[in-house]
Chain A
Amino acid sequence: MTDTLKSGFPNVETTVLGADEIILNMGPQHPSTHGVLRVKLKLDGEKVVGSECVIGYLHRGVEKIAEHRTYQQFAPYVDRMDYVAAVSNGLGYCEAVEKLLGAEAPLRARVIRTILTELQRIASHLLWLGTHALDIGALTPIFYCFREREEILKIFEKYCGARLTTHAFRIGGLQYEAYDELEKDVERFCKDFEKRIDEYEALLTNNRIWVGRTKGVGVLTAQEAKDLGASGPVIRASGVQWDIRKAFPYAAYDQYKFEIPTGRNGDTYDRYLVRMKEMRQSRLICLQAIENIPSGPIMARIGKVLKPPLGEVYHSIEAPKGELGYYVVSDATVQPYRVRIRPPSFINLQAFDTLVRGHLVADVVAIIGTLDIVLGEVDR
């Protein structure tokens, strides 16, 4: 039952291609795979009966590089994994090393980190929304989403000089003080943003065609989600109320009130709703945070040369894509012994085969979109 074919479909029960079955290759170059992802589909007419994802086209050996850089030198590399949400990657890494050192960033740094990370979450979800809608055929939301994303990237640029691969945080806190108009900029953005999300929802949420393309497509039950290790909006849409910001609060999340949106059916439509609600919650967190940014130092006293004592730590954060974890092993030298990155997109992508069985070819693109994968993170 688990024979492998020459084409490599371990999950399919037959060993011979039936007369009506063809193998369709969505190659690494394709407008809708959001990066270099190769998907081999086994089709029976229009229905997908098996699939295999071939990844590794963007593998850059980031974990190996980590062993040859000091802790601080490695920090810019993590931005390049999930390049759509670079700030979150940086947050996870810096906090993991801080845990390893036994240090904690001062409160002011943590609050500013929270604000920037939530803005990054909104930006990442906006990009997801635009591209997902584009794949399903709605040609306009992507431009609106990028208009909003532009505002966020401007804030990042004013803060640390970079829009995409920001390296905004440092181990121990922040390097740059918040610029003078940060609060005003964030407030202005948040005030406008509510109307904008309403615009996107007006275009899509109750649109008959959108609902028809996404409801019942790619259903993942809660049990399957837990078994497959899905995290983030994927598992929340299946009904499991789990968010690391609430389960193991980090940065300054325990100070703010926000909800965790969950879905019921675990289909694409629910994942869409969960992410839309998450954007609204992120906006609320930002508004709460800018009301009261405490004063104080922005960097903990940990010295310039970081030599954490022997040991290891696993620290994870709720990145926009899911649970982003860092397992860092230290051998008391200035370079980490091992840095393992637990990539949410990689593990969510494993669920692709389960999601796509039984659907039509036209739904494959919607399912890839709804998992919200970034190949930089899948392959590292």
Chain B
Amino acid sequence: MHALLEFFRPYALPLLYALIIVAVLPLVAGYVVLMERKVMADMQVRLGPMRVGPHGLLQPIADALKLLIKEDIIPENADYWIFWLAPLLSVTAAMLAMAALPFGPAFQIADLNIGLLFIVGVSSMGIYGIVLGGWASNSHYSLLGALRSAAQLVSYETAAGMALVAALLLAGTLSMKEIVEFQQQQGVWFVFLTPIGFFIYLVASIAETNRAPFDLPEAESELVAGYMTEYSGFRWALYFLAEYANMIVVASIATTLFLGGWLRPFPGVHALDFLDWLPPMLLLGVALYCFYRTPKQPVKVQQGFLAAVGLLCLMLAAILGAALVPPLVRFKPAILGGFWFVFKVFAYIYVFMWLRFTFPRYRFDQLMKLGWHFMIPLGIVNVIGVASALVLHRQMHWGLAPALGATTLGTLLVAAYLAAVGRRYDLPVVGEAE
């Protein structure tokens, strides 16, 4: 008996973390959807969901309930087992990728020493979910949409991979935790060391999650309807959940590798230690705002709800503040780190949304051309650049900043060249101007 407990002891904490993630993720994804709708509304000069709960805060719950109780419709000639399996594959891949993500120095299910490889590999398995979903729908257009989606994802995985390699060269390790620790050691986030890599990863991650401006396979106004058409109710909810979970995974990878993970801005500079107080102050501000708006709500229930949200923020602010006070300072990295990580992930996702509502959509051939003729060559050149900079720094004892500066400049020149040359591959103009 004792041996059994001893056997399971190392698994206890990770299992707890895994349970937390699996339980909390759908809720978080739901609120990311709400955030998207609110941000969309804000950019479109309107308000967004306002009715269900104060300022629409209960909207995701209502949506989830609705999707759960919907009738399960399966097309007549669809292959039932694959139809059932496809969304599961997508969701499983996305959730599994979270196993190696460090949400803070203390909150990680598995600190694999091949962490990054694992995450990227497993999240690629989600493509199976898309292709099988399109195939199982037994519809010509769903299949075409699915294949297009898959082609897009694969192309941009390559580009994303190249960008990650650049950051890995700087870190020298695949373990997610050690990458962040390396950034802490250096005192600077990798985004400042390889901005081009960050840019490539940003664009590639948008394409990987099928977000605008790369969302042709799922756009409504296009003729080919996309792999999700025949799915309704809970199965659709799973696909949707997979998409947002993927967004969170991709944002987490970017945060860890480029944005310093759980580090606060300027982690090495002690003069800026007061920035540590930023999180609790921020949450205190949000809590006070909630309390301020509470009496203005029209209905008592909404008042109660908003007050509860305010209290929640207050509690979080208290926890964050407490972590800074001497007796509990040993928890500071864990708690504050968690906050910074989540904050950065949400900022990255906000940029996704911002881009979605600003830009029109790329046509599929333009999308593929961008990936293969611009992103991948640039990614490769970037890797060569960063590697050369490291050689210059370690072998020839240049400073890191000048070395990287020089190679970044070179990469930018190559980028300009690629952009100019790319016009040669544009589709020929149909017809001749007079």
Contact = CB atoms under 8 A, between A and B. Distances in A.
Interface of A: 24, 26, 31-32, 133-140, 143-144, 147, 203-204, 207, 209-210, 212-213, 215-217, 219-223, 238-239, 264-267, 357-365
Contacts of B358: 138, 140, 203
Contacts of B429: 215-216, 219, 267
Contact of B45 (A143, A213, A238, A265): A143
B220 A31 contact: yes
Interface stretch (B114-122, B161-169, B360-368, B409-417): B360-368
A239 B434 contact: yes
B291 to A, nearest CB: 32
Nearest to B364: A362
B212 interface: yes
A360 B434 contact: no
Contact of B363 (A140, A212, A265, A357): A212
B357 A139 contact: yes
Nearest to A357: B430
B365 A24 contact: no
A244 B45 CA distance: 37
A31 B219 CA distance: 11
A136 B220 CA distance: 10
A357 B199 CA distance: 37
Nearest to B361: A137
B362 A140 contact: no
B357 to A, nearest CB: 5
B5 interface: no
Nearest to A240: B434
B320 to A, nearest CB: 35
Contacts of A136: 360-361
In the A-B complex, the 10 residue pairs with the closest CB atoms: A137-B361, A216-B429, A219-B431, A143-B44, A137-B360, A138-B360, A265-B433, A32-B221, A358-B430, A136-B360
Contacts of A217: 430
B361 A140 contact: no
Given A136-B360, A221-B434, A358-B431, 19 more contacts: A32-B221, A138-B361, A139-B212, A143-B44, A203-B358, A209-B360, A209-B362, A212-B426, A213-B366, A219-B431, A219-B432, A221-B431, A222-B434, A239-B434, A264-B433, A360-B365, A362-B216, A362-B364, A365-B221
A267 B360 CA distance: 18
Given A136-B360, A209-B359, A362 B431 contact: no
A331 B44 CA distance: 54
Interface in B34-79: 40, 43-46
Given A24-B223, A209-B361, A219 B356 contact: no
Given A26-B223, A357-B430, A362-B216, A207 B360 contact: yes
B207 to A, nearest CB: 13
Nearest to A24: B223
Nearest to B221: A32
A220 B434 CA distance: 9
B427 interface: yes
B213 interface: yes
B6 interface: no
A29 to B, nearest CB: 13
A171 B363 CA distance: 49
Contact of B362 (A212, A266, A364): A212
- The B interface, classified by DSSP as helix, strand, loop or mixed, is loop
A210 B434 contact: no
Interface in B335-390: 356-366
Contacts of A223: 434
A152 B83 CA distance: 51
A238 B432 CA distance: 11
Nearest to A359: B430
Contacts of B360: 133, 136-138, 204, 207, 209-210, 213
B366 A212 contact: yes
Nearest to A212: B366
Contacts of A267: 429, 433
A217 B356 CA distance: 23
B427 to A, nearest CB: 7
A26 B359 CA distance: 25
B226 to A, nearest CB: 13
Contacts of B44: 139-140, 143-144
16 contacts: A31-B220, A138-B358, A143-B44, A143-B46, A204-B360, A207-B359, A209-B362, A210-B360, A212-B366, A216-B430, A219-B431, A267-B433, A360-B364, A361-B223, A362-B363, A365-B221
A137 B426 CA distance: 20
B357 A219 contact: no
B151 to A, nearest CB: 13
Contacts of A219: 429-433
Interface string B218-253: 011111100000000000000000000000000000
A48 to B, nearest CB: 10
A31 to B, nearest CB: 5
B46 A363 contact: no
Contacts of B433: 219, 221, 264-267
A267 B426 CA distance: 16
B109 to A, nearest CB: 37
A358 B428 CA distance: 10
Contacts of A32: 221
B222 A365 contact: yes
Nearest to B212: A137
B363 A360 contact: yes
Nearest to B366: A212
B420 to A, nearest CB: 13
A209 B219 CA distance: 16
Given A139-B44, A212-B362, A31 B221 contact: yes
Contacts of B222: 361-362, 365
Nearest to A270: B433
A336 B78 CA distance: 60
A137 B219 contact: yes
